[in-house]
Structures are given as structure tokens and as C-alpha cells.
A and B are shown apart, each in its own frame.
Chain A
């Protein structure tokens, strides 16, 4: 097996007295696309937030071979662990170009940043057209593209995506997933949280199914998509 870029052991997340994530273990290999599927409230978003230390948690998080569960969020980005949050979180009052610059906030290699900016613009020509425009004036799909492009500006090694298809028109959903595949082809590992289980399983190599804070199934995406339990519960068959 390839080397794991992310290795999580017995992760628990509590809100007050309520357990949202009840001790889950999973891994993402280098260059792999992994999805976490499950119903609303299963603990998927809490898991991602815990990974980037937006939420306190118990258990071990190993990233790039080192334990990171005592790092702060703003330090982890510098190590290549980037989250595109649910609801996109673009800076609405800043221009598209400034949003992208924020993605490269920690980088000091101006030439490299400029090169990556050109790559992001090549990947997402819409953003180049609108680079002077305030991000708040973009459509939902364009904002999602911007949020992903912004994360790429930090040269992530592992990209965490939280519900990138949420609230988007079907055509935009297709484009967002094409973009995610293109990013993976460049060697970025991806952990995708998605309610659109069909699309997630079509896109990823492996998947985990989460139910009420626990991982109930783990397999290759193809086997999960063929599993009658998954088909009944998440693929609407």
C-alpha cells in the first residue's frame, strides 16, 4: 500500500455533551481521492473541521507522517492541509484576485505564486475574466470555483472539500467535479465530503460511509456503489 498522507485514529468530536463523531479511523493515501458520504448530521463536516483544528477533538490525527492534532488551523495550511469549507466562504467584499491572493497568504515565493495564479486562471478562465470583480457578485457556482481555486493557491498536498456541490445547478455540479478530478490528476490527495453519494462514488477511488458519528462501511468506491445497503440508503434505489 502507498504511504498515507492522512491517518486518523479514533477521532471523537463533542459539542457540549453531545458526541457528533464517536471514534472513527480512516486514511487517505498519497494521490488518492477518498470520499466520506452519509446523511445530514452523520458527522462528516465535524470530521473535516476537526482535521483542520476548527473544532477540538480526541484521538490521533497524523498528517504527512507527523501528529498534527495539537497544531493551530493557520499553521496547518502552511503544511499543505487545506479545507474548502461548506458554503464556500469566499470573501465577498474582496475582489476575485484578492481572494486568490489570500489563498497564497503564507507563501513567500512570489514567482511561484504568480505561476500558480496563471495555472488557476488557465483551469478556471471565468475567474480571470472576473478578477477585478467583488467575489460577492459571482454566482454560486463561480464562488465554489473561486473557493477551490483559492485553496489551490496554497499548493495543498491534501485538499479537504466540504459539500462542494451544495446549492449548485446540475451543470455547475458537473463542472465542479471535473475541476476536482483535474486537481487530483496533478497529484493532490483529496478527501471529499459529499451528500451527492452517486457523484462522489463515481469520482473517488475509495469511500467511507458515515452514520450517526460512526464509519459503518469502508471499501473501494466501485464496491460501495454496488453494495445493496449503500444503494438503498444513499443512491435512492
Chain B
């Protein structure tokens, strides 16, 4: 029973991070119909830049939480600029190209970003400082650390902020209008290129937060960390219904739970044949099952409504 609760807690923590990253995929897809496969690398850059800032601040004696916030204050705008820059340089010239072209470009951008990070910070695994207290407290037999609580809280806060932005601001309305019909949105006076830039920037800001949170969770950052994380978050977005914000949140949470529970029990279920090192398999099993049985995802629309 304790294990079950423990795995559920772990799953929610993991799922919150997947959800944040998945939102970046789904927002861009909603506006442009494009899968930005370089998004995982933006997440990684967010973790790396924050780490670099914290290392610079190491001697200052500032509290670790303050260092973390300063790190985020640098990495979030940096990632927003990076995401918007990727769109400007790598995707906008291909706006009317066959769909395969931006996909290949995305892979190229991913590799470039990974190796730029290698040039600056090297190939090593960087231990992430314990920015938040990790001494766990007891919750009905399961253990949950303040860091995990903070991850859930931060993610929920950021997601609530995003929903508010999309549903209650002028920019959010323009984003939804552009997602639905860019031609008509332009007729209303919406500068579609500006909306696209902002969409990439906001998705990248969420990605930067996610990168930091996931690094805190695993106490490590690495130039390839964005790859698997990005693929899993993409899976979460597809699971929820790509293009749908609520779907990305639900999909991320579900995927985190599936992964935690799966890796927690796979050993028992298979008599020890498979261990928890098979955890990554679950995400992709989910992807395959969703693509076969419900390609539009849990909250995805089956057909566009027409009058």
C-alpha cells in the first residue's frame, strides 16, 4: 500500500513536468500544425543556463531558493528568445514547404543545440545542487520531499497562469483565433507572425521551468536530457490530444502515473524478468496504443465542427 501511494506521488511529480513540456509541443502544434522536435533541447538549455547562473552565485551566500529564482529569471527569458529565434530562423522560411522539411530542420536544430551545450559545458553529467530541501516527510507511509511538493506547486501555478493567459487576455484570444483560422485572424488585424513568435516564446518559458524542475527532481543535468524528456512529453501531448491545452496537462499527468506505476510494479508482475530500468518503455507503449486506438487523443476532437 505504501508503495502504491509512493508511486502515485512519484508519478504526479513526473507527470507535472511532462505536462509543462507537453504544453510547449501542443501550443505550437495548435497554431502551426508543426511538431517542434527541438523543444526538448530548449528544456535542456533552460536547465543548463539555470545551473550556470547558480554556479556563478555560489560564493555569494544567497539562500539557495533565491539563487534558484535568479537562475530562472535568467533562463526563462533566454529560452523564450531561443524558442522564438528557432522559429524565426528554422521554421518561418519553411512555412509553406512540405511538412517533412520543418521536421528534418527540427532534428538539425536539436543536434546543433546539443553540441553548442557540449562546447560550453561539456559532455559530463552535471550534479544539480539541492536547491530545495529534500528531507522527506511522511505522508501515510509514503515519503514526499519539499522539492517534490515545490515541483507540483510550481507546475500547477505555471499551468494556471497559462490557462488564464490563453482564455482571458487579448494575446490569448489572438492565439486561439489564429489556431482556429489564421486567414480570418489576419482579417481581424492579428499579426499572425507575432502570435507565432509569442507562442514559441511562451512554450519555451514553460520548457525552461520544466527543465529546472526535472533537474532538481533527478539532481542531474546533461546535454542529452532533453531528448528522452522531449519524446515523452510529445507522447503525453498525443495522449491528451495534440493541439489541446487541457489534453497536454491530462496526458502529462497520466503518462507520469503510468510510468511510475509501471516501473514500480513491472518487476513483481514479470517475476523479476523486467526491472524498473524498463521505465522508458511505458511511455512509448502508451504512444503506440494511443496511435492505434485513439489517434486523436483523449481530449482531441474527432472532426472539426461545421455549421
Stretch from A8-16, A21-29, A85-93 at the B interface? A85-93
Given contacts A72-B191, A91-B176, could you give 4 more A-B pairs where the C-beta distance is less than 8 Å? Answer: A73-B187, A77-B189, A105-B190, A154-B189
Let me know if A102 and B173 touch, CB within 8 A: yes
Is A166 an interface position by the 8 A CB rule? no
A77–B174 Cα distance when bound, in Å, is 15
Let me know if B177 and A74 touch, CB within 8 A: no
Within 8 A of B (CB), among A84-112: 85, 89, 91-94, 98, 101-103, 105-106
Is A138 an interface position by the 8 A CB rule? yes
A199–B177 Cα distance when bound, in Å, is 33
Let me know if A136 and B183 touch, CB within 8 A: no
Is B186 an interface position by the 8 A CB rule? yes
Let me know if A139 and B307 touch, CB within 8 A: yes
Tell me the B residues contacting A by CB distance below 8 Å. Answer: 170, 173-174, 176-177, 180-181, 183-192, 304-307
Let me know if B191 and A74 touch, CB within 8 A: yes
Give B184's nearest chain A residue, CB to CB. A89
Could you say which residues of chain B place their CB within 8 Å of the CB of A54?
183, 186-187
Closest chain-B Cβ to A159's Cβ sits at a distance in Å of 12
Let me know if B187 and A83 touch, CB within 8 A: yes
Let me know if A94 and B176 touch, CB within 8 A: yes
Within 8 A of B (CB), among A131-159: 136-140, 143, 150, 154
Is A82 an interface position by the 8 A CB rule? yes
Give B176's nearest chain A residue, CB to CB. A94
Let me know if B184 and A85 touch, CB within 8 A: yes
11 inter-chain pairs at a CB distance below 8 angstroms, sorted by A residue, are A52-B187, A54-B186, A73-B187, A75-B189, A78-B189, A85-B187, A91-B184, A101-B173, A102-B174, A105-B174, A105-B189
Give A138's nearest chain B residue, CB to CB. B307
Tell me the A residues contacting B by CB distance below 8 Å. Answer: 52, 54, 72-75, 77-78, 82-83, 85, 89, 91-94, 98, 101-103, 105-106, 136-140, 143, 150, 154
Let me know if B177 and A143 touch, CB within 8 A: no
Could you say which residues of chain B place their CB within 8 Å of the CB of A94?
173, 176-177, 180
A83–B190 Cα distance when bound, in Å, is 14
A11–B223 Cα distance when bound, in Å, is 56
A72–B187 Cα distance when bound, in Å, is 10
A74-B189, A82-B187, A105-B190 as given contacts; A93 in contact with B307, CB under 8 Å: no
Let me know if B188 and A140 touch, CB within 8 A: no
A92-B180, A93-B180 as given contacts; A136 in contact with B307, CB under 8 Å: yes
> Which residue of B170, B176, B187, B305 is within 8 Å of A89 (Cβ)?
B187
A83–B185 Cα distance when bound, in Å, is 12
Judged by DSSP, the binding face of B is helix
Let me know if A102 and B188 touch, CB within 8 A: yes
Could you say which residues of chain A place their CB within 8 Å of the CB of B181?
89, 91
> Which residue of B170, B187, B305, B307 is within 8 Å of A77 (Cβ)?
B187
Could you say which residues of chain A place their CB within 8 Å of the CB of B170?
105
Could you say which residues of chain B place their CB within 8 Å of the CB of A143?
307
A98-B173, A105-B170, A105-B190 as given contacts; A140 in contact with B184, CB under 8 Å: no
Could you say which residues of chain B place their CB within 8 Å of the CB of A52?
187
> Which residue of A73, A92, A98, A137 is within 8 Å of B186 (Cβ)?
A73
Closest chain-B Cβ to A134's Cβ sits at a distance in Å of 8
Could you say which residues of chain B place their CB within 8 Å of the CB of A105?
170, 173-174, 188-190
Closest chain-A Cβ to B190's Cβ sits at a distance in Å of 6
Could you say which residues of chain B place their CB within 8 Å of the CB of A136?
305-307
A78–B190 Cα distance when bound, in Å, is 10
Closest chain-B Cβ to A142's Cβ sits at a distance in Å of 9
Closest chain-A Cβ to B92's Cβ sits at a distance in Å of 15
Closest chain-B Cβ to A52's Cβ sits at a distance in Å of 7
Closest chain-B Cβ to A189's Cβ sits at a distance in Å of 18
Let me know if B307 and A140 touch, CB within 8 A: yes
A92–B185 Cα distance when bound, in Å, is 12
Could you say which residues of chain A place their CB within 8 Å of the CB of B190?
74, 102, 105
Let me know if B307 and A91 touch, CB within 8 A: no
Let me know if B307 and A74 touch, CB within 8 A: no
Let me know if A74 and B192 touch, CB within 8 A: yes
Closest chain-B Cβ to A21's Cβ sits at a distance in Å of 19
A133–B181 Cα distance when bound, in Å, is 19
Could you say which residues of chain A place their CB within 8 Å of the CB of B173?
94, 98, 101-102, 105
Closest chain-A Cβ to B182's Cβ sits at a distance in Å of 11
